[in-house]
Chains A and B, each alone.
Chain A
Amino acid sequence: MPQAMKHVRILVLREDLPQASLTLADTGNFHPDPRPPQEQQLTPLQDRRYQKEYQQARSRLDKIAQVVPAPEPDLSEIRVVGLEELAETNAWLGEAWEFCLEHQEGFRELDEEERLLDEEEAALANFAELNVDLGTLRNKTRFLEYHIGVVPRENVRRLEGALGLAGHLLFTYMERGESSHVVIVGPAGKEGTELRSVLSNAGFQAIPLPQGLDDSPEAIRSEQRARRERIEKERARLTEEVEGCATDMRDRLARAATVLVLAEPFVSLDPAIRSAGHLAFVAGWVPAKTVPELEQRLQETLSNGFSLESRKPRSDERSLVPTVPVRHRLLQPFALLVKQYGIPRYGEIDPTLLFTITFLLMFGTMFGDVGHGAVLALLAWLFRKPLGRFYLFGVMAGLSSVVFGFLFGSVFGYKELIPAVWMSPLYDPILMLQLALGWGVFFITLACGLTIFNRFAINEPMAALFGHHGLVNLLFYLGLVWGGVSVALTGGFGIAQVVLVVGSLLALAVYNWFHLQASVGERILVVLIETLETVIGYISNTLSFLRVAAFSINHVALMIAVLTLAGMMGAVGHVLMVIFGNIFVMVLEGVIVTIQVMRLQYYEGFSRYFSGDGREFSPLRLRRRPRAA
């Protein structure tokens, strides 16, 4: 059942606000409500210095954490952080970031130098094949001057045109990656500002030709090696410097991280704070059972008096009340999948538990094999680190397969290894299909029941009775199922069943008729189509569950195919076929079955009873761990 919530209003002295924020964050049960209060005289805080200092400091710390490892904040002592301390921390973080930035810039310059060196080597290798005196390219002649360098390839054509207007010629002699190697030739002695400006706009980078061009190739290569070594040395020096400073800064960074974690609640609470003179008030949503604890913690920590009022949510603010998510560790991965669809509205039943049970039942039925399930569970457990909390999803799905594997008596497709507790799905496919249909009827009835409950819970009785998947829909569906069973058993639909089906359909049609704001013709059309859609929808939705039986049979059939193929091979081929066949079935079927079960859950289940447009309970908290870089 959903957790009851209360709306809480806390009135404190302004000087106690930082401490109150810390206490509220420490309890982890206060979800701020930023709505403006009824009282006109209460206004948002005017002094924004604390918020500004915090935002800048937080941004700096996050950026620094991308360069040097961020230490854990020390929260052994929960204390108020004043504006002065925050400003001092921010200023220090500014200096630290400046240091990081300088070093990052240093690394970038070295990268750039290395890139130019690569280009230079490529250029010289190219020139080596030409029969020209490269020494002249380095110097101005009496009439001509030369520029050799690289330019982004996409700028070459424009640069060529622009240089033509400045009386220069551009020749491209090589293209490497995104750069073009060019030689620019023009009359010597002209004013160089125009040329420099165009070259700068075009991103031209000159390649300095080494002095000793007349030397042997080995001498030039050795000079380039020396430059490369110098770059590497410089990079190593910078790395060492950064590491050294990171060690020196570690304690100070930890203190800064602590200060920011302690300052954060006051900043996060800011949109929900209103004040008048020396008084300030904050409002929020708190789980009803934790209100006394919250009040007691405030009494313990606030030096001055305060007032705390709590009340149940009003019906008009139901859509604003946050929903506390399921916190059980085993249900966490399933809660994530539910969250992909949406958050339950306040008052609605949280579908996570139901989702977990039905998911595992259907997955196990469709993928029942002791061996396959065990492999899946083992893999999920082995990869628990990269999978995070989601590994439990794999473990539980695998264990469900193992349980159904025992029921079906199947280990990696072999039927002889263990006796079936029940039977193999392929021994009686008709029974399997009948059971799947029965499961579908149960699932849809349960979903409709939850829809009705949820609509009553959020005070929408008419929707609970006549809306989509409401009570009248359920009566129609049960009438239809009853009739279907009668046809199967006796050959006739039955009068009571006909009355129930037709009566409920008529009730729906009449309800739709009076709720439509349209012309008579349009009403007739819509009512007819909607009634027809109801009939077809429920039948097709029930038949949709046949896939549960179909996939369980399919699983067995696929394994029979694998073992038959293996039986047609020699000893080695047999083993390989069994191994790769099992891998193929596990991967292919595992994925398909997961998708099919999710489809049944989302489409046949959630779309009926779960609106998904609720608000997540997101309480003020102390950030215990630094942000991921």
Chain B
Amino acid sequence: MPSAAHDAYLNTRVAGKATRLFRSGDLERFAQMSLPELSQEFGLGSILEDPGSVNAKSRAVEQALLHVLMEELTVLIRPMNAAERSVVVAWGRQFALFNLKTLLRGKIRQLDPQEIRENLYDLPPQVRLSSEDLFRVENAVELLRVLESGPLSLLARQAREIYEKRQEAFALEAAIDQRYYAELVRRVARLDDTTAQRQMRKLVGSLVDRANVLWLLRFRFAYQLPASETFYQLVPSPALLHRERLLELVGMDDQPKVIDALPEPLGSMLADAGNLMEIQRRLGHHCGGVAWSALRSGQSGVARALAYLILREADLRLLFTLIQGRLLSLPDTYVNLALGLSPAICVHQWRQAA
């Protein structure tokens, strides 16, 4: 089927849905609203008006927003072919991996199964962890053993070996994240359509670049891991931070040198960022910019669909942050910081800012 005809339906759906994305100034406007106004604007009345603890309401709002995103994902993947669908589903699997991490943390800390269950996302069948057996396990090793018999077998086996040797969640979670991005890159490489692959490399590459910069700075300079171990945790990106560049960057011995050596536009964007939070915020803007560009001028339907989902997820996260801030009655200064409306500052400057 010709590409234009193949993408016609998908492009129409994406164009229709894109009208829901936050535009310039929307977030500032929402940040001025009270909780009842937000609830009315986004149709969350029934959740926020129900009696219950702040935690329960917060969880319900998060679940409702995720449900919206997952429904949109389900609608958008319907007209895609198998290879395209697998990329988008692999992106959506991040929420299943959140669930997996929640389960692991819960089992490591021996929390009550009901408490763990309450903190899991309810996901559609395409992205959820498949087995009900996962919920019946009694410790982290048993959990990883069960996972070994499913589609995450290789990840689970390595994760279990790491866990059995080190008994810590960090290495496990790092392995899970690393595998997630590597899988995403691998699935993009399997796309047959060259236009789609080119645009997806850029789009997925921006996500991988963001993760790489943050992990590199965190592992190398905050956790003081050696260069070799840091490199092993990174994922060669199909966009800017490819393998050779990562090898070069991890060998550097301080943060400013790394930032100076980053390729453009990352280098100039992060030059005066100062702290990790601000770097994270600016990288988020960069990813948003790449996604908007793919959505507005992209020629591939699947790339536009994924760009839409990335932007929609970012919007819904911001909305959740705002609602949570209101539920916890936090001062506007903190909420604006969390929303990225003001530059991120170090923790000790917060009080002063407030």
What is A's interface to B at a CB cutoff of 8 Å? 52, 55-56, 59, 62-63, 94, 97, 101, 104, 108, 152, 154, 157-159, 161-166, 178, 194-195, 197-198, 200-203
Is B226 at the interface (CB under 8 A from chain A)? Answer: yes
- Smallest beta-carbon distance B72→chain A, Å: 26
Residues of chain B contacted by A63 (CB below 8 angstroms): 136
- Smallest beta-carbon distance B25→chain A, Å: 35
Residues of chain B contacted by A94 (CB below 8 angstroms): 138
Complex CA gap A202/B158 in Å reads: 8
Residue of A nearest to B227 (CB): A165
- Smallest beta-carbon distance B233→chain A, Å: 7
Please provide the chain B residues from 156 to 206 with a CB less than 8 Å away from any CB of chain A in the complex: 157-158, 161-162, 165-166, 171, 175
Residues of chain B contacted by A195 (CB below 8 angstroms): 228
Is B113 at the interface (CB under 8 A from chain A)? Answer: yes
Inter-chain contact total with CB atoms closer than 8 Å: 67
Query: Given A164-B228, A201-B162, A201-B232, 9 other A-B contacts at CB below 8 A?
Result: A55-B113, A158-B231, A161-B246, A163-B228, A165-B231, A197-B226, A197-B229, A198-B228, A200-B166
Is B243 at the interface (CB under 8 A from chain A)? Answer: yes
Q: Which of B138, B171, B232 is the one whose CB lies under 8 Å from A162? A: B232
- Smallest beta-carbon distance A556→chain B, Å: 43
Residues of chain B contacted by A159 (CB below 8 angstroms): 232
Residues of chain A contacted by B227 (CB below 8 angstroms): 165-166
Is B251 at the interface (CB under 8 A from chain A)? Answer: yes
Residue among A62, A63, A94 having the largest count of chain B Cβ atoms under 10 Å:
A63
Complex CA gap A52/B116 in Å reads: 14
Task: Classify chain B's interface size.
Answer: 20 to 34
Is the pair B113, A162 in contact by a Cβ cutoff of 8 Å? Answer: no
Q: Which of B114, B247, B250 is the one whose CB lies under 8 Å from A52? A: B114
Is the pair B229, A162 in contact by a Cβ cutoff of 8 Å? Answer: yes
Is B154 at the interface (CB under 8 A from chain A)? Answer: yes
- Smallest beta-carbon distance A61→chain B, Å: 11
Is the pair B228, A194 in contact by a Cβ cutoff of 8 Å? Answer: yes
Complex CA gap A164/B80 in Å reads: 41
Residue of A nearest to B251 (CB): A165
Is the pair B226, A194 in contact by a Cβ cutoff of 8 Å? Answer: yes
Residues of chain B contacted by A108 (CB below 8 angstroms): 145
Is the pair A59, B136 in contact by a Cβ cutoff of 8 Å? Answer: yes
Residue of A nearest to B161 (CB): A203
Complex CA gap A163/B250 in Å reads: 13
Residues of chain A contacted by B136 (CB below 8 angstroms): 59, 62-63
Known: A164-B247, A165-B227, A201-B171. Contact between A158 and B158, CB under 8 A? no
Pick 15 A–B contacts, CB within 8 A, sort by A. Answer: A52-B112, A52-B114, A62-B136, A63-B136, A159-B232, A161-B232, A162-B229, A162-B231, A165-B250, A178-B154, A194-B228, A194-B229, A198-B232, A201-B158, A203-B157
Complex CA gap A52/B114 in Å reads: 9
Residues of chain B contacted by A197 (CB below 8 angstroms): 226, 229
Is B142 at the interface (CB under 8 A from chain A)? Answer: yes
Residue among A63, A97, A101, A158 having the largest count of chain B Cβ atoms under 10 Å:
A158
Complex CA gap A152/B231 in Å reads: 17
